[in-house]
Amino acid sequence: MAMIGRALPSVLSQCSDGFKSLKDSPRDLYLTYSLMVLESFNYFSTSLLFVLYLTQEFGVGDIEAGTLYGLWGTLLVACGIVFSPVIDLIGFRGSLIVCYIINIAGRFVVATTTSKTVLLWTLLGPVTIAGSLGTPVQTIAIKRYTTESNRGFAFSLFYSFMNVAALLCASLLDLFRVKLRHGFNIASLPENHFLNDGSRLLLFMGCLTSTLALIISCFLRSKVELVDSIKQHKLKGHAEADDVEEGGQEPLLEAMEAKEVNRKIGDGGAAVTEPSSDIAIADKGQQTFWVSFLADAKEVLMSRETWKFMAMCVITVNLKQIFRHIDATLPKYLIRAYGCDAPVGLVYGINPFMIIFMVPLIGALTTNFAHFDMIHYGSYLSAFSPFWIVAFPSHEWSAVLFVITLSLGESIWSPRWYDYSMSLAPHGREGIFTALASAPLFAAKLPTGMLSGALLQAYCPDAHACDSETGEETGELGMSIGKSGDDAHIDKVSLRWVRPAALPATEEQPEAEGKRLLGAPDTHIAVPVHDFLEEEAVVDGALSHIQEGRRR
Question: Which pLDDT tens digit goes with each residue over 443-470?
Answer: 667 888 888 888 888 888 876 545 444 4
| Residues forming a β-bridge with 265 | 271
pLDDT in the model for residue 126: 94
Q: How far apart are CA 76 and CA 73, in angstroms?
A: 5
**Is position 252 within any domain?**
no
Calculate mean pLDDT across residues 53-63: 92
pLDDT band at 270 (very low <50, low <70, confident <90, very high): very low
Orientation of helix 371-384 relative to helix 317-328, angle to 10°: 50
| Percentage of residues in the chain having pLDDT higher than 90 | 24
Closest CA to 550 of 145, 227, 86, 141: 86
Distance CA 51, CA 62 (A): 8
Let me know whether 345 and 200 are in one domain. Answer: no
| Mean residue pLDDT across the chain | 73
- How many residues in total does the chain contain? 552
Tell me, what's the pLDDT at 309? 75
Which of these ranges, 54-68, 128-142, 182-196, has the smallest mean pLDDT?
Answer: 128-142
**Predicted local distance difference test score (pLDDT) of residue 358:** 82
User: Cα torsion at 135, 141, 146, 147 (round to 10°)?
Assistant: 100
For residue 92, report the phi and psi dihedrals to the nearest 5 degrees: -75, -35
What are phi and psi for residue 519, nearest 5 degrees? Answer: 135, 0
CATH number of the domain within which 358 lies? 1.20.1250.20
The per-residue pLDDT for 494 is 47
State the total domains in the chain: 2
**What letter represents residue 307's amino acid?**
W
The C-alpha atoms of residue 463 and residue 212 are separated, in whole angstroms, by 40
Q: Is 246 domain-assigned?
A: no
Domain termination site, one of 224, 256, 275: 224
Q: 445 and 299 in one domain?
A: yes
202, pLDDT greater than 90: yes
Rounded Cα distance, 253 and 232, in Å: 14
Interhelix angle 62-82/116-124, nearest 10 degrees = 30
Q: Is the pLDDT of residue 118 over 90?
A: yes
Phi first, then psi: give them for residue 341, nearest 5 degrees: -90, 15
* Residue-level pLDDT at 520: 39
- Is the pLDDT confidence value at 367 over 50? yes
Rounded Cα–Cα distance for residues 437 and 505 (Å): 26
Based on the domain organization, do 104 and 198 belong to the same domain?
yes
Q: Which of 90-99, 138-147, 218-227 has the lowest mean pLDDT?
A: 218-227
More confident residue, 498 or 191: 191
> Using the 8-state DSSP alphabet, how is residue 497 labeled?
G
In this predicted structure, what is the pLDDT of residue 478?
53
Question: Do 436 and 551 fall into the same domain?
Answer: yes
- Paired with 227 in beta bridges are none
Contact residues for 160 (Cβ-Cβ < 8 A; gap 6+): 356
pLDDT of residue 481: 57
What is the average per-residue pLDDT within 489-496? 50
Question: Nearest-CA neighbor of 532 among 139, 14, 259, 58?
Answer: 139
Distance CA(36)–CA(27), nearest Å, equals 15
Q: Which of 408, 402, 292 is nearest to 347 (CA)?
A: 402
Do 310 and 205 share a structural domain?
Answer: no
Q: Give the domain extent around 357.
A: 292-552
Q: Does 303 lie in the same domain as 206? A: no
**50 and 176 inside one domain:** yes
Q: Are 216 and 296 contained in the same domain?
A: no
* Per-residue model confidence (pLDDT) at position 451: 86
Same domain, 179 and 325: no
Shared domain check, 108 and 219: yes
Q: What is the mean pLDDT of residues 359-367?
A: 73
Share of residues in the chain with pLDDT > 70 (%): 63
Whether residues 336 and 217 fall in one domain: no
Question: What distance in Å separates the CA atoms of residue 45 and residue 37, rounded to the nearest whole number?
Answer: 12
**Is pLDDT of 108 > 90?**
yes
Judge whether 5 lies within some domain.
no
244 found inside a domain: no
Considering the domain boundaries, does residue 323 fall inside one?
yes
Whole-number pLDDT of residue 64: 94
Closest C-alpha among 82, 282, 46 to residue 169: 46
- What integer pLDDT is reported at residue 58 of this predicted model? 93
Q: Angle CA(134)–CA(159)–CA(229) in degrees, nearest 5?
A: 65
Does residue 391 lie within any of the structural domains? yes
Among the candidates 204, 224, 244, a domain finishes at 224
> Is there a domain that residue 368 lies in?
yes
Query: Do residues 455 and 535 share a domain?
Result: yes
Lowest-confidence segment of 81-90, 128-137, 418-427 by average pLDDT: 418-427
Which amino acid, one-letter code, is at 76?
A: L
Last residue of one domain, picked from the residues 224, 258, 281 = 224
Residue 215 pLDDT class (50, 70, 90 cuts): very high
Average of per-residue pLDDT across 296-312? 73
Q: What is the predicted pLDDT for the residue at 431?
A: 60
Q: What pLDDT was estimated at residue 297?
A: 66
Least confident stretch, 75-84, 201-210, 346-355: 75-84
Pick the closest to residue 472 from 484, 490, 460 (CA basis): 460
In a domain, 285, yes or no: no
pLDDT of residue 440: 58
- Among residues 520, 489, 518, the alpha carbon closest in space to that of 366 is found at 520
